[in-house]
Amino acid sequence: MAAVAGPVPKPTAETLRGIADSFGFKMEPKDEAAYLKLLQDDSAIIDYVAGLTEYRDSRLDPGTEERKYAQPPASENPLNAWSHRTEIKPTGTGPLSGKTVAVKDNICVAGLPLTGGTQPYHLSKDKPYPISDIDAPVIARVLEAGGTIAGTSTCENYCMSAMSFTSATGPVDNPWLKGYECGGSSSGSGALVGIKCIRKWKEKKGEKVEDDGLGEGADFALGGDQGGSIRLPSAYSGIYGLKPTHGLVPYTGIAALHPMIDHCGPMAGSVRDVALLLSVIAGYDGIDPRMTPQTPLRSQVPAYADLLDSAIAARTSAGDWTPTTAARGMRIGLIKEAWEVPNLSAEVASAVSRAGERFRELGGTVDVINIPLHRDGAAIWTAATHAHMADTFLANEAPTLLSHPLPGLAPPSPDQKWYDTMTAANPAVVSVLLHGAHLRSPGRFPAAARAKAVMHVHQLRAAYDAALEKYDVLITPVNPTVGWRHPAGGEGVLEKLEMALGNTKNTMPFNATGHPGLVIPVGWGKVEDGEGRLPVGMQMIGKRFGEEKLLLAAAAWEVGGLGWDN
C-alpha cells in the first residue's frame, strides 16, 4: 500500500520565487537556477519515498484472527457510551482474566473504526472512518493479561472537550443521572465503568440490581488525557481514574494532540483496579518518544496492585490501618490556589476540603499550601502547545522525534462544510485551528514566545517538585461543579465554551509537568436545575513515577469510608 496517492507537482521557477518572496529574498538568475535544481531534486526524493510500500512495525501486528464489530442500537446503548461493540478474546491469561475492557475511540484497535468522536470523513477522505490495522501496545498488553476488549467507548469530538455533549453521535449521559454531563473527553469510558460502580454500590447497600436501564458496562476502561480527559470523566462519573506520569504508559497507536501532554491511563471501579490495570499497560515499548530513561522496562514495571496489597497488609499487621491511623506518616498538602478556579461551587469546594482534611483524622499531617504559579498553569499549557496541536490531530502530522504516526489517517483539509459542522458541534476545535495558524504566522507571533512558554513548563514542574519534597500528596478539586444538564442545542460559540469554564484549570497544569494525577470519588453535590445528586471527585498529585505512594494514600483515605457513602 502506498502512503501517498500521487506525486507532488514538480516545483517551477514560479514556485521558487513565491517561496523566496515569502522570506524577502531576491535571487540572481544563476542562483535561482541552482536553487531550483536543488528544490526539484528534493521534491523527487520525497516523491520516491512517498511511493514506497507503507511499513508497519511488526510489534504492532494484531495477528490474523478476524475481528467483527457493530454499532449498538440505542436500546442497548442508553447512555450513548459505546461507540462500537466487539468481543476480542484474550491472547493470554493474567490479572485481567474474565474482565471486560472498554477502549477510548482514539486508540487503535485493529479491525475496528477509529472515529476520534468526530463526524464521518473528517479523518479519512476515502471512507467514513479509517479502519485500524494495528493494535496500540496498550491493547496488546490488555489482551496478553487476559482482558477481553468489549468495544470502543464514545469520546468527545476530536478529543477536545471537557464536557460530554460534543461527540458526533450525540451526548453521553452521566450513569448516575441521565440527561446530565459525565465529563470529557473520555466520556464513554467514564460512563461505562460508572455503570458497574453503580451496581456494585447498590449491591453493597443490599438493594436489588434489576434492569436499571443503563445497559452493559465495562469492568475497566482505557482513557486518554491531554488536559484532564481521564480525570474529569472519573470525577463526574464517580469512578477512579489515573493520568499516569508522562512516559510511563506508551502512547504509540493513539491519536495525539501534542507529545508534551499526551497520556493514556486506567479508569476503573476501585483504587486496586486502577493499580491492576496500570501494571498491565505500563512500561517501555521501544517506539514512543515520550518515554524517558526513567520509564521502566516491561520486566521492571512495578506490580502496583501487589505492592498495594503488601503495604496494606504490613500496616494492618502493625495496627496502622484503622480510621485513626491509616494515614500515619503521610504528609498532605492542599494547594490553596486550586480553590480559586472559575465556577468552583461552594458545595464542591467544601466537599473536597473535607475530603482532604480526612487525612488528619486518619493520622496524617495536613496543611494548606501556596503554589502561586498553579494559577498560571493552564495558561502555560496553552502557550506551550496550541501552535502545533491542530497539525497533530487535524492533519496527522508526525512529531519531529522518531515515532509511529497513525496509519490510515488521511484527513482532508478543513473547508466551509467542516467549519460549519464543527462550529455547531465543538467550536473548541475551530478555535484551536485558528489559534495555531495565528501563532505560526510569520511576523505575528515570534517563535520565542512558545520557547518561553516551554521554559515556564520547567518552572511549573519545579514548583510542584519542590512542594512534593515536603509533602507526599498534593490535593485539588477536579470538577468545579457536579454535572450540568446537557445543553438543549442552538447555543452560540461562546455559550458552548463557557459551559466548560474552569473545568481544566486544576488538571491541565499536570499534563504539562507530567506529574501523576489520581481521581477518587469523595462525595456528592446537588444538581442546580433539578432533583438529584451527582458525584464529586478529588485529585491527588504525586511525584513523577511515584504512583505506588499515590495509590496507597488513596487506599488509606478510603479506610474512613468510600466517597460514594458520604
Higher pLDDT, 370 or 450: 370
CB 57 within 8 A of CB 287: yes
The CATH number of 67-377+452-525+535-565 is which of 3.90.550.10, 3.90.1300.10, 3.50.50.60, 2.60.120.10?
Answer: 3.90.1300.10
Q: How confident is the model at residue 470 (pLDDT cuts 50, 70, 90)?
A: very high
Q: Which phi and psi angles does 533 have, rounded to 5°?
A: -130, 155
On the question of pLDDT at 7 being above 70, the answer is no
Strands 331-335 and 473-477 come out as parallel
pTM for this one? 0.96
Q: How far is CA 22 from CA 26, 249, 434, in A?
A: 10, 42, 21
Predicted confidence at residue 209, as pLDDT, reads 80
Average confidence (pLDDT) over 111-128: 96
C-alpha cell at 545: 513515577
- Single-letter amino acid code for the residue at 402: L
Q: What is the Cα–Cα distance from 473 to 335, expressed in whole angstroms?
A: 10
Instruction: List the Cα angle 288/293/295 in 5-degree steps.
Output: 65
Q: Which residues are catalytic?
A: 104, 185, 229
Q: What is the pLDDT of residues 178-187, one digit of tens each?
A: 999 999 999 9
End-to-end CA distance of the chain: 57
Predicted confidence at residue 1, as pLDDT, reads 34
Q: What is the pLDDT of residues 358-390, one digit of tens each?
A: 999 999 999 999 999 999 999 999 999 998 898
Beta bridge partners of 2: 53
Predicted confidence at residue 462, as pLDDT, reads 99
Q: What is the pLDDT of residues 297-332, one digit of tens each?
A: 999 999 999 999 999 999 999 999 999 999 999 999
Q: What is the pLDDT of residues 475-520, one digit of tens each?
A: 999 999 999 999 998 899 999 999 888 899 999 999 999 999 999 9
Higher pLDDT, 531 or 23: 23
On the question of pLDDT at 155 being above 50, the answer is yes
Average confidence (pLDDT) over 154-159: 98
C-alpha cell at 358: 480526612
Strands, E, within 344-480: which ranges? Answer: 365-369, 473-477
Average confidence (pLDDT) over 36-57: 94
On the question of pLDDT at 241 being above 60, the answer is yes
On the question of pLDDT at 265 being above 70, the answer is yes
- Single-letter amino acid code for the residue at 129: Y
C-alpha cell at 1: 500500500
Listing DSSP states for 79-144 in one string gives: TS-EEEEEEE--SS-STTTT-EEEEETTB--TTSB--TT--TTSSBSSSSSPBP-S--HHHHHHHH
Average confidence (pLDDT) over 170-183: 98
Average confidence (pLDDT) over 172-191: 98
Predicted confidence at residue 3, as pLDDT, reads 43
Average confidence (pLDDT) over 107-132: 96
Q: What is the Cα–Cα distance from 62 to 56, expressed in whole angstroms?
A: 11
Predicted confidence at residue 8, as pLDDT, reads 67
Domain borders along the chain are 1-55, 67-377+452-525+535-565
**Rg of the Cα trace of the chain?**
24
Average confidence (pLDDT) over 141-162: 98
Average confidence (pLDDT) over 92-114: 98
Average confidence (pLDDT) over 229-257: 98
> In the block, which residue shows the cell 464536557?
163
Average confidence (pLDDT) over 26-34: 96
Q: For the beta carbon of residue 65, count every other beta carbon within 10 angstroms.
A: 10
C-alpha cell at 564: 460514594
